[in-house]
Structure 1
Amino acid sequence: MKTLAMILTLITAVAVNSQTSYEKGMKKAFELWGDKKPDEAINLFERIARAEKENWLPFYYAGQVHIITTFGLKDATEIETRLKKAQDFLNEAKTFSKDNAEILIMEAMLNTAYVVYNPSVYGMTHSAKVEELYQKAKALEPKNPRAMLYHAEWKMGGAKFWGKDPKAFCPEIEKAILYFENETKRDIPFYPKWGLDQVERIQQNCK
């Protein structure tokens, strides 16, 4: 038993040591975000991005943390500051990865955050941007599950606002579920895979 324990310890040590500094850093940043330390996560993602030079993913996630964090805030100054910083990060991500559906989806979420935060100010100007960004993302990747799911949620919100039935977009959620099951980029380290856990919440609009 002692021998087996030693072997397992050695295997674990080798596995940890075989990780690159990039992989270790990214995992740590996600852990910080999961531990509700968004600013520490953002700072680490940014440091990784500066070190990696031409990798769009750390910039993408730094932007995402800022965007997601705003949905739980009430302070207008902090919301505006975070959304502007998020856009800066996404702009940097685009310099290394043009015509990227995932970045377009995140930009759509950023503009959605503006509308949610202050619809009277941003509703007219940013709603069209949201629709345009989702359309571009779906043109690039018609079977992207995040584009399909969150575009459906956006259109459901619009339907409710105009007094129409949001259930009209429920078939798109079913498509998104199928697309999640058949994603082809699952094996790329840290490639965006999020969203499936939000299906049930969005499907509440179908009841």
Structure 2
Amino acid sequence: MKTLIIILTIFTITTTTAQSAYEKGMGKAFELWGQQKNDEAANLFERIGKAEKDNWLPFYYAAQIHIVKTFGTKNAEEVESRLTKAQDYLNQAKTFSKNNAEILIMEAMLNTAYVVYDGAKYGMTHSAKVEELYQKAKIIEPKNPRAILYHAEWQMGAAKFWGKDPKAFCSEIEKAILYFDTTSSAIPFYPSWGKDQIARIQENCKS
């Protein structure tokens, strides 16, 4: 579970001559993110969220930036700071969208980040949360490809830890591939990341 999400090439932002302030702001935030200006992007997403007042997506992406940045980071203070901020952003997102599978998936990622950073400290407390969050997301949206793919990766990691065969979950990856190809949303900036990580996760399925 080294880097669970690489999203910077996933988003295709469609521009029109009549873009709203929201669309322009979101486009700029994704542009900053693509330029590796992570904190600037997160701060802009936060400002957009506060201006929108009823939109979960800006806070969701602000959280995602901080979560992604912790993978591979060894500085304890930075990890704790970023994951605390990410949880705050997700809490705000939840106030605008309850029982949202995408938010639950991102919260599972957040708890995974704690486990990856320090398994001895957080493994016992956060592993159960990860499993619970993925299960809830899959109940809400059984065909959500991110829930299926990253839950499978989590289960593969757990199988390896306990000396079991991770290939038991390879069929779930195939299911996720199908749903990536058949599910979409008309909502602007709706999450669509994850498909580019299939090959990396499928490495667990090789002999």
- Relative to the length of structure 1, the TM-score reads 0.91
How far did residue 16 of structure 1 move?
4.6
Gaps of 5+ in 2: 1-14
Q: C-alpha separation between the residues in 2 aligned to 1:95 and 1:111?
A: 20
In the alignment, residue 97 of structure 2 is paired with which amino acid? Answer: S
Q: For 1:33-112, list aligned pairs within 5 A.
A: 33-112=33-112
Of 194-203 and 66-75, deviating more is 66-75
* Cα distance between partner residues in 1 of 2:104 and 2:201: 20
**Alpha-carbon displacement from aligned partner over 1:67-104 (angstroms, at most 9, x marks no partner):** 00110311000000000000000000000000000000
Point out where structure 1 has 5 or more consecutive residues left out of the alignment: 1-14
The superposition leaves residues 82-139 of structure 1 with CA deviations (integer Å, 9 ceiling, x where unpaired) of 0000000000000000000000000000000000000000000000000000000000
Identify the residue that residue 206 of structure 1 maps to in structure 2.
205
Question: What does residue 197 of structure 1 align with?
Answer: 196
User: Residue type of the partner of 1:110?
Assistant: L
Alignment of 1:17-36 (within 5 A): 17-36=17-36
Instruction: Describe the SS at the equivalent of 1:36.
Output: coil
CA distance in 1, matches of 2:52, 2:62: 14
How far apart are the structure 2 equivalents of 1:205 and 1:31? 33
For 1:160-175, list aligned pairs within 5 A.
160-175=160-175
Distance in 2 between residues matched to 1:140 and 1:81, nearest whole Å: 30
Question: Structure 1 residue 123 and structure 2 residue 128: aligned?
Answer: no
The aligned runs of 1:119-198 (5 Å cut-off) are 119-185=119-185, 187-198=186-197
Which structure is richer in relative contact order (CA contacts within 8 A, separation 6 or more)? 2
In structure 1, give the amino acid aligned to 2:175. Answer: K
Count of residue correspondences:
192
Structure 1 residue identity aligned to 2:138 = K
Classify the secondary structure of the residue corresponding to 2:199. Answer: helix
Q: Decide which structure has the larger Cα Rg and report it.
A: 1
Superposition deviation, residue 164 in structure 1 = 0.5
Please list the CA deviations of residues 10-32 of structure 1 after superposition, one character each: whole Å capped at 9, or x if unmatched: xxxxx654001110110111111
Determine the C-alpha separation between the residues in 1 that align with 2:20 and 2:184.
24
Instruction: List structure 1 runs of 4+ shifted beyond 6 angstroms.
Output: none
CA positional deviation for 1:188:
1.4
Output the aligned Cα RMSD: 0.8
SS at match of 2:73: coil
